[in-house]
Amino acid sequence: MTPARNGSEGSIRLADQPDQQRPHAHSDTPSGDLSGPGGAINEGSSAGTSAGMSAGTSGGTNFDTALGRALVERGIVGQPAMDECLRELRTRIEQSRPTTLRELLLERNLTSSDQLDQIRVEAESTKSVTRIQGYQILRKLGQGAMAKVYLARQISLDRLVAIKILPKDFSENANFIARFKKEGRSAASLSHNNIVAAYEIGETNGLHYFVMEYVDGDTVYDRIVARKRIPEREALDIIRQVATALEHAHDRGVVHRDIKPRNIMMTVSGVAKLADLGLARMMSDRALAESEAGRAYGTPYYISPEQIQGKIDIGPPADIYGLGATFYHMVTGKVPYEAKGQSEVMKKHLHQPLVPPDHLNPQISAGTALIIETMLAKNIRDRYRNARDLIKDIDLVLAGKEPEFAKPAVDIAAIATAVQATADDPLTVVRRGNDNPFANPAVLALVALLAASVVGNLVLLALLLSR
Ligand SMILES: Nc1ncnc2c1ncn2[C@@H]1O[C@H](COP(=O)(O)OP(=O)(O)OP(=O)(O)O)[C@@H](O)[C@H]1O
Ligand SMILES: [Mg+2]
């Protein structure tokens, strides 16, 4: 994935943060810009509002002021102790022995240098974030092609949340905002252990944001990158969890439309959480429009053929396809269709037969391979009709049985590929014997009978004509 949207970076910079309030360079901060975060350090809170902490009178730099606020806000140093430090800094300036707040805090054992470094990292990662009323932005969690996600503390409920801030150009489009609100409401109607809960949508300084459940863990994408392949059983378990999330969403009329490894988060205890439900729908429309216009966007490795074709009635099968592509990537270590450009990848989704996943990873069972192939059927008719059927098949395979709903698609080109691969790998016949009708002796006998009858008829015809 190569997120390459330029221009949004600057749009998130605080509009209401005058330059003179930004900190001076300081030897402690390589970037020379620790505090910048009007957003990271909530000026509306009690911390930092005492007279002793106002810049210029504190005896310290603006940097010290911001650092002081951050420490008080995080409860690392109490307000009285901080005020006392700032008074001491003033005194030392008057005595011509200037000291930085950092030095004084360490001298008095009020913080450790680790805590100070941590605050610097957090401040740097949030330095251009806007303020959001009611939340204290702590640090950047990640960045996708179109938005940035921050860890924040919801002050009223004292809980950690994740906030996705959309770029400015999204926020300027009235049509988009209307959809954003509508989708936000539909996302909020969902409640499922395997779905990242939507808490709030809002707007600040003309930027739209989405507050959601914070997932303390990694994404399936991170796991694939770290381990190349996910073992079959673990992958089946994760896919099953996401399938139950889809069943819940689809039953309520919500289609995700952007299922991919980056949108599946994993908690430390192994619970899969599907992210961006509702929101992804708008993103995927836009991403597609942008890629059609030739602009750079993440490569569409997991998109369904019907979305590529621009069909308007995109439904649950599109999510099953995306989950199938994710499943394929997890167990084979490769995306289903690889190519240089986005349009080549999309063409392959539409026309190229799938290399069966067990050809790339012969260790996976025939049942799992068949499930993945059915999820990735190009034609909706050949795909799982719904997540329920998919879950049943996963359960059968987990129990060591054959799947019930998975059917190999009748695709001449795919059969040709399979026959070729079979010649290369004799094991395939044994493990996937049911897939190939010619591997069945009864079918072979029938074909031989048919051939003999055709030859017989031809001979008779020739005899009749020769008379
Ligand atoms: N609810 C959350 N809790 C914790 N981290 C999150 C949460 N949502 C997103 N993240 C982190 O933020 C990153 C960026 O998320 P975002 O949804 O903006 O983009 P993406 O899904 O990674 O990629 P793309 O923009 O291509 O869809 C994710 O990869 C993940 O690491
Ligand atoms: Mg996402």
* pLDDT value of position 166: 82
Within 8 A by CB and 6+ apart from 299, the residues are 1, 2, 342, 345
**Percentage with pLDDT > 70 across the chain:** 71
Residue closest via CA to ligand 1's atom 19 equals: 144
CA of 293 to the centre of ligand 2 (A): 22
Within 8 A by CB and 6+ apart from 409, the residues are 373, 374, 377, 378, 379, 382
* pLDDT value of position 432: 44
Catalytic residue among 258, 319, 389, 393: 258
Residue closest via CA to ligand 1's atom 30 equals: 142
> Is the pLDDT reported for residue 330 higher than 50?
yes
Alpha-carbon distances, residue 207 vs 40, 45, 166, 201 (angstroms):
16, 22, 7, 11
* pLDDT value of position 288: 56
What is the DSSP secondary-structure string of 148-184? EEEEEEETTTTEEEEEEE--HHHHT-HHHHHHHHHHH
Residue closest via CA to ligand 1's atom 24 equals: 144
For residues 137-146, give the mean pLDDT: 86
* pLDDT value of position 128: 59
User: What residue ranges line ligand 1, CB within 6 angstroms?
Assistant: 1, 141-147, 149, 162, 164, 196, 212-215, 219, 262-263, 265, 275-276, 298
What are the backbone angles phi and psi of residue 71, rounded to the nearest 5°?
Answer: -70, -40
Q: How confident is the model at residue 119 (pLDDT cuts 50, 70, 90)?
A: confident
Alpha-carbon distances, residue 26 vs 30, 43, 107 (angstroms):
8, 21, 19
* Highest-confidence segment of 90-104, 174-188, 240-254, 291-305: 240-254
Looking at every residue in the chain, the average pLDDT score rounds to 77
Closest approach atom of ligand 1 to CA 263: 21
* Highest-confidence segment of 45-59, 74-88, 398-412, 417-431: 74-88
Within 8 A by CB and 6+ apart from 47, the residues are 41, 69, 72, 73, 79
* pLDDT value of position 3: 32
CA of 2 to the centre of ligand 1 (A): 14
Q: How confident is the model at residue 121 (pLDDT cuts 50, 70, 90)?
A: confident
* pLDDT value of position 225: 97
Pick from 114-128, 259-273, 389-403, 416-430: least confident: 416-430
Q: Are strands 148-154 and 135-143 parallel, antiparallel or unpaired?
A: antiparallel
CA of 275 to the centre of ligand 2 (A): 6
Q: How confident is the model at residue 33 (pLDDT cuts 50, 70, 90)?
A: very low
Q: How confident is the model at residue 144 (pLDDT cuts 50, 70, 90)?
A: confident
Pocket test of ligand 1: the residue of 8, 140, 149 to mutate, having most ligand atoms within 8 Å of its CB, is 149
Q: How confident is the model at residue 190 (pLDDT cuts 50, 70, 90)?
A: very high
Which residue did the predictor score with more confidence, 114 or 123? 114
> Is the pLDDT reported for residue 202 higher than 80?
yes
CA of 280 to the centre of ligand 2 (A): 7
Which residue did the predictor score with more confidence, 274 or 291? 274
Q: What is the pLDDT of residues 386-411, one digit of tens each?
A: 999 999 999 999 999 999 999 775 55
* pLDDT value of position 414: 53
* Highest-confidence segment of 9-13, 84-88, 376-380: 376-380
Cα dihedral across residues 30, 32, 38, 42: positive or negative: positive
Closest approach atom of ligand 1 to CA 143: 14
Residue closest via CA to ligand 1's atom 23 equals: 144
Cβ atoms of 323 and 384 within 8 Å: the answer is no
Active site residue 83: no
Distance, CA of 143 to chain centre: 10
* pLDDT value of position 26: 28
Residue closest via CA to ligand 1's atom 12 equals: 142
* pLDDT value of position 296: 43
pTM of the predicted structure, to 2 decimals? 0.67
Q: What is the pLDDT of residues 333-375, one digit of tens each?
A: 999 999 998 889 999 999 999 999 999 999 999 999 999 999 9
Q: How far apart are CA 115 and CA 294, in angstroms?
A: 46
For residues 2-23, give the mean pLDDT: 27
Closest approach atom of ligand 1 to CA 1: 26
Residue closest via CA to ligand 1's atom 9 equals: 149
Alpha-carbon distances, residue 304 vs 233, 247, 317, 319 (angstroms):
25, 18, 8, 8
Closest approach atom of ligand 1 to CA 216: 4
Closest approach atom of ligand 1 to CA 147: 18
* pLDDT value of position 40: 33
